[in-house]
Amino acid sequence: MNGEVDRRGLLKLAGGSLAALGLTAAGCGGGSGSGDGTVTIRYAWWGSDDRAKRINRTIELFEKKYPKIKVKTDFQPYLDFWKKFNTQASGGNPPDVFQNAIGFLRKYDQRGVLLDLNAQAEAGNLRMDGFRAGLEKFGEVDGKLLGVPVGSNSMALVIDKPVYEKAGVTPKTGWTWDDFHEAMEKIRKQGRAGDSGLYGVMYLYDPYLRQQGKAFFTKDGLGFDEADLKEWWTKGYAGVKSGIYADPKKVAQIKPKSAVAAEIAASEFTWDNFTVRYTAEGKSEYGLAPIPTTDGKKTGQYLGSLMLSGSKRTQHPKEVAQFIDFMVHDPEVAKIMGYDRGVPTTTAQYEAYKPAEEKDKVIASVNKEIAAYEEQLVEAGVLETITPHPAGADVCEAAFLRIAEELALGERSVDEAVKQFFTECKTALGS
């Protein structure tokens, strides 16, 4: 949606040891069957050790309910996951079911990798009712059901509360980008950069464009032009030079720790469900603030989501559908996963998990704030529909983050950065 925060730093943070958890790496070939009718499906995802532990507990529950379905697991850090998945997909050997994101739906659908789950929904193996805020539509592309969301999130501004309070800054719904800039100046006078550097966060630039009737992506390509990006990056670079945004060299030095937790910056834009990261890394108290607006009304936000997709080559589409159904509807799964992958997308799971019941009171407090933030977005009616990204969007996102960082470090001028991004992105999108 993720780079959000500092994506590469977050991806390092999300890495984990497969062997340490005793997980079974996915083998070659599709899902298998046995003489007694038992079938095996392969399930792959990206994330941290903690996510892996939680997911494996949910798999134990699934296998108890469906004793004839066994699940082989494989998890990797984000970048490693997609490298491995791309190799498997190219070789005709993707996992039967896997974690997915909107930036990859069209890409792998065009390659004939993704299973259209509509037939399984019609057969009753996958329930597509009971979802919150229209999220059941999130994985639909051109009439095909290519993914089922497991957790929702939206962009937010994570703030160091004591620093904001000391600077006399109180972000409120409807505050403008001018208000935000003024807040950054006030915080800088307190001896800390206001923000870690928003210029490379694609999933923030997208709402900013939407506030002006545009978007980062259309279904066919980019939804903005070079003049739009020049304005964004000119402001971003000026913020770095003035000190209201953190020194990118310092931000790089403390990776994978976040600039906010390292007390280099007082805030940064990221997905709301990442808030727990700051609590785990830092010593301060952190909270969620609304996205600034252009006109005081339109935020350009939408609910994003991780999702589960199936392989078109799976030998067991029914079992894949039953697995996905269990993971998005079973209340006990929600109690185990919490908000690790975002706020549960189905009403049954949303109501089953109570943040206050977390043993860790700090995490309980953070999760309660995440839920309240999303509830406020839904009630305010500001949420829009995200357009499924075109094939090659993942390459554009990586280029956006990398080139923005080069710009901030002074390795490229604004004009050079803009030209380089559009050159790389047009190649990736085939336009």
User: CA gyration radius for the chain?
Assistant: 21
Q: Are 32 and 143 in a shared domain? A: yes
In a domain, 203, yes or no: yes
In a domain, 376, yes or no: no
Tokens of 24: 């079974």
Residue 278 binned pLDDT confidence (cut-offs 50, 70, 90): confident
How far apart, in Å, are the Cα atoms of 65 and each of 59, 61, 123, 308, 322? 10, 6, 19, 19, 10
166-180, 243-257, 309-323, 362-376: the lowest-pLDDT one: 362-376
DSSP structure string for 265-284: BSEEEEEGGGHHHHHHH-SS
How much of the chain, in percent, has pLDDT values that exceed 90? 69
Residue 39 binned pLDDT confidence (cut-offs 50, 70, 90): very high
Mean pLDDT of the region 30-57: 85
Report the CATH number at residue 218. Answer: 3.40.190.10
The neighbouring-strand residues paired with 412 are none
Region at 361 (left for phi over 0; alpha for psi -120 to 50; beta for the rest): alpha
**For the chain, what is the domain count?**
2
Q: Looking at per-residue confidence, does 133 or 325 come out higher? A: 325
Indicate if the pLDDT at residue 25 is higher than 80: no
- Would strands 144-145 and 32-33 be described as parallel, antiparallel, or unpaired? unpaired
Q: Given 336, 368, 400, which residue is the final one in a domain?
A: 368
- What percent helix, strand, coil does the chain show, rounded to 5? 45, 15, 35
Residues 21 and 17: their CA atoms lie apart, in Å, by: 7
Q: Are 20 and 55 in a shared domain? A: yes
Region at 180 (left for phi over 0; alpha for psi -120 to 50; beta for the rest): alpha
Indicate if the pLDDT at residue 26 is higher than 80: no
Q: Are 11 and 100 in a shared domain? A: yes
Name the residue range of residue 199's domain: 155-301+386-429
Q: Are 159 and 144 in a shared domain? A: no
Q: Are 195 and 245 in contact (CB under 8 A)?
A: yes
Q: Is 63 helix (H, G, I), strand (E, B) or coil?
A: helix
Q: Are 279 and 355 in contact (CB under 8 A)?
A: no
Q: Are 72 and 60 in a shared domain? A: yes
DSSP structure string for 179-248: HHHHHHHHHHTTTSBSBS-GGG-HHHHHHHHHTTT--SB-SSSBSS-HHHHHHHHHHHHHHHHHTSB--H
pLDDT of residue 147: 97
Indicate if the pLDDT at residue 7 is higher than 60: no
pLDDT of residue 256: 79
Q: Are 283 and 403 in a shared domain? A: yes
User: What size, in residues, is the chain?
Assistant: 431
Q: Are 84 and 179 in a shared domain? A: no
In a domain, 351, yes or no: yes
Q: How confident is the model over 191-214, as pLDDT tens digits?
A: 999 999 999 999 999 999 999 999
Q: How confident is the model over 320-369, as pLDDT tens digits?
A: 999 999 999 999 999 999 988 889 999 999 999 988 888 888 788 888 99
Q: Are 84 and 137 in a shared domain? A: yes
In a domain, 325, yes or no: yes
Q: Are 311 and 182 in a shared domain? A: no
In a domain, 228, yes or no: yes
Residues 71 and 57: their CA atoms lie apart, in Å, by: 12
Residues 324 and 308: their CA atoms lie apart, in Å, by: 7
Q: Are 163 and 240 in a shared domain? A: yes
- Would strands 97-100 and 39-46 be described as parallel, antiparallel, or unpaired? parallel
In a domain, 2, yes or no: no
Q: Are 264 and 398 in a shared domain? A: yes
Mean pLDDT of the region 412-428: 97
Residue 33 binned pLDDT confidence (cut-offs 50, 70, 90): low
pLDDT of residue 314: 97
Q: Are 104 and 187 in a shared domain? A: no
Mean pLDDT of the region 26-45: 73
In a domain, 76, yes or no: yes
In a domain, 375, yes or no: no
Residue 23 binned pLDDT confidence (cut-offs 50, 70, 90): very low
